Structure 1
Amino acid sequence: MTVPKTSVLVLDCAEPEALARFYASLLGAQVGPAGADGDLLLVAGTSGTVLGIRRDPDHVPPSWPLPEGSQQPHLQILVAPEALDAAEREAVTLGARPVGAEGEESRPGSRTTQRRYADPAGHAFVLVAVPAPSA
């Protein structure tokens, strides 16, 4: 018998409250504590998205993308193709920083179907244009 479980991606940062607000705003989600100590916050969205944000006073932002082109673990946020430009403007307005691998376009108005960013604490995420499934 398998014990029921759930999982959550946890991002470490020095200021979890600010990063949790960033992702809550970006994802249209709510923030709540994940325990009594306040060092772990959960960002939960109506689409079932749950993201943990944990306090680490010694956090060092990751370097991404790496010059060698290696892709580190990252969050992918799926959007409709027609909403990609608007999602990008929203992310940048909230504090995301566009990043790109060598030779890759990653700027507002780019024609690519995915766009890479660093959140305010330096973690990688990608906005990916995904068409709605056909009926």
Structure 2
Amino acid sequence: MSVQKTPVLALDCAEPETLARFYADLLDGDVRPGPTADDVEVVAAAGIRLAFRRDLGYAPPSWPRPEDSQQAHLRIHVAAVDLDEAEREAVSLGARPLGTGTEDGPCPVRRLSDPAGHSFALAAPDPAPTEAGPAQE
């Protein structure tokens, strides 16, 4: 018999309550207490669960600088037609845009960092529809 498992991405940070509120607002989720006083969780639609753990010595990743790895990042799928609006919303909540590395027209992945410095991406899983109609798979 297999035991039911629920994956939860946990991010270390200095202020878990603040970071949880950022992601709860971004994902229309609810902030809930975690298993200890230093843990906070966010539960959102479609089974999304994130956890935030207090680390008193926390230092944010330095990506995209080459001397440190990216560690991990969260990818949030958004319809291609909504990418600009989703990016504006994230920035209004405290996210900071990270360089794309290209200026070649529309970008289907928007890289940002949350208020604690963790990188995340807003990504269009499907191409944007054209004027002739919706994108074909």
TM class, shorter-length: 0.7 to 0.9
Q: Residues 40-119 of structure 1 correspond to what in structure 2 (within 5 A)?
A: 40-67=39-66, 71-100=70-99, 103-105=101-103, 111-119=106-114
Q: 47-56 or 63-72: which moved more?
A: 63-72
Q: What is the SS of the residue equivalent to 1:54?
A: strand
Q: How far apart are 1:2 and its partner, in Å?
A: 2.7
**What are the ranges of 5 or more consecutive residues in structure 1 without an aligned counterpart?**
none
The higher radius of gyration belongs to 2
Which residue of the partner structure matches residue 126 of structure 1?
121
CA distance in 1, matches of 2:21, 2:69: 29
Q: How far apart are 1:114 and its partner, in Å?
A: 0.2
Q: What is the alpha-carbon root mean square deviation over aligned residues?
A: 2.3
Identical pairs, percent:
55
Distance 1:117 1:34, change over 3 A: same
CA distance in 1, matches of 2:81, 2:123: 11
**What are the ranges of 5 or more consecutive residues in structure 2 without an aligned counterpart?**
128-134
Question: 8 Å contact 2:41–2:51 — kept in the other structure?
Answer: yes
TM-score by length of 2: 0.84
Letter of the 2:5 counterpart: K
Q: How far apart are 1:5 and its partner, in Å?
A: 1.9
Letter of the 2:9 counterpart: L
TM-score by length of 1: 0.85
Which residue of the partner structure matches residue 25 of structure 1?
25
Letter of the 2:24 counterpart: A
